[in-house]
Structure 1
Amino acid sequence: MSGDASGTYSFDRILNFRDVGKTTNQYTGKRLVAEGRLFRSARLDDASVSDRDALRHDIGIKTVMDLRTKSEHVKQAKKREGDLKILVLVKSNDALAKPMEIPGLGYCNININGKGFERTLLWRLSFWNIFKVLILMLFGYRMEAISILGREVMKPRGLIGLGYDTIDYCGAELATAFREFASSPRYPILVHCTQGKDRTGLIICLLLLLLDVPIDAVTYDYTLSEAGLLPEKEERMVEIREIGLTEEFASAPREWIGKMNEYLGEKYGGTREYLEGIGVDGGVQARIIEALLG
């Protein structure tokens, strides 16, 4: 593992990893966010032994907040089972023989795009496609069902529309995540999803806006994901296409953060008001600010 003053790090097999406090402070030239407290990345499933040691001992991560769906977890578990049968992979990566969760770290698994989000996407399908999705799910063909949702609903909504949907329909899950951020023993916390870009990006966006970080600095941190994911872009595109999506969903467009901020303001009155509305009251917000303020 290696890191630089900007807060980005290079690992063997972890992409898009950074210290959110450092990237924000480096961009603004001010100490707005506590450093060494809040980290973000893509998935950790392929982390090497040295990556795992670095997370736990060098960086000092205490808690991993995993925002992925059940389908994503199932897919990665199946991939790992397959990799364990390939001798050359086992020899090249000692971590394959280790548990998927890193021993010594606390795990907080929150499917941010939970039941409300899933129902919303489902009811935007035609009756025939709803029937097909339900039948596929019933017989265990989760990825095939998701590809219908991806092609027919998620692709037309785009990254920005899906961000709005997450804000509107994932309040309970977001509130659960924010209550974890209010607990000091949880820190340092590493937040990730699959790419560490959009679901993770929304969580980080809300946290930074709560801390009154300027919108251009929040945007800067978000857009770092474009370069952070570049080393495995082709592999990621295969996964993205499998669920019926396009290259747009591998990007981190500059306007995304601004659109989320505008939407929060126009529909809910602002970030703090939105958080209040989903059950993250002033006391919880104050504890988060105390934990993360620079």
Structure 2
Amino acid sequence: MTDPQLAAVISERRKLINLAYRLLGSLAEAEDVVQETYTRWYSLSEEQRQEVVAPGAWLTTVASRICLDLLGSARARREQYVGEWIPEPIPGRSEWLDGSYAADPADRVTLDESISIAFLVVLDSMTPAERVAFVLHDVFRYSFAEVAEIVGRTPAACRQLASSARRRIQSSQEPSSEERADVVRDFKRAWETKDIEALIGLLDPRAIATADGGGLALAFLDPISGGEQVARAWMEIAARSPEITLLERTVNGQPGLVAQLDGVIVSVYAFDVSDGRITRIWAIRNPEKLRPWTAG
């Protein structure tokens, strides 16, 4: 018998992917969460499914609670992660590959200000409850009463959680600017020409560079602090890998760079820019996190 709610349930897939990715910072984990959510839906009896007045709300609640559980165990999992952990980067819409991985539009993440690597890094510093409350309310516009049912707190407590999270976001946000693309382009040019003075000039004196190789790719394990130190590190990278090709690409909705070796993307670089200078660089080299960029 055909499920009369099938169309409504399937139509929620993209929203669930977007929600889970923002909560977890991993597209691979987001896909697993959505799969588990649908498994639980179809584990219900037909009578139970018919009793669900709003399938979309039911799916969102289940997915959010699965994410909340995963976030609760993330700290222990991160302790075993090799080096620094950076959220999984997402290509721009025009840069998704044509292969099976990205062929389904429902699997694509909507790119907006709530998806930048800088934004996700701040989210990752929050408690699981703060993160879920903030994303559900401020990004997906759920009421605090609805958030309370999902998080298992009172609406007032959820309001406080979201407010605390919002202060962190607002203190870290930078205004968007076309200047960002120009700065990244200048960084690419200076890196390619091995112009260390130009690189130092483009980097904030307090700039920080963080790499994520996950123990699966060569990467510096600890963050590098200081504009001059970061510039020297990038000179070393250029000297060690002269055959690398750098390309300008959209990374999580922001201007970024990718490094290609023999036509295969081996690194993705995201940037945070303030007052015309780069303040943060995130270098993602873990091949498991580059799946959307390399799957064919």
With the length of structure 2 as denominator, give the TM-score of the two structures.
0.30
Report which of the two has the higher share of strand. 2
Report which of the two has the higher share of helix. 1
Looking at both structures, which has the greater relative contact order when contacts are Cα pairs under 8 Å and sequence separation is at least 6? 1
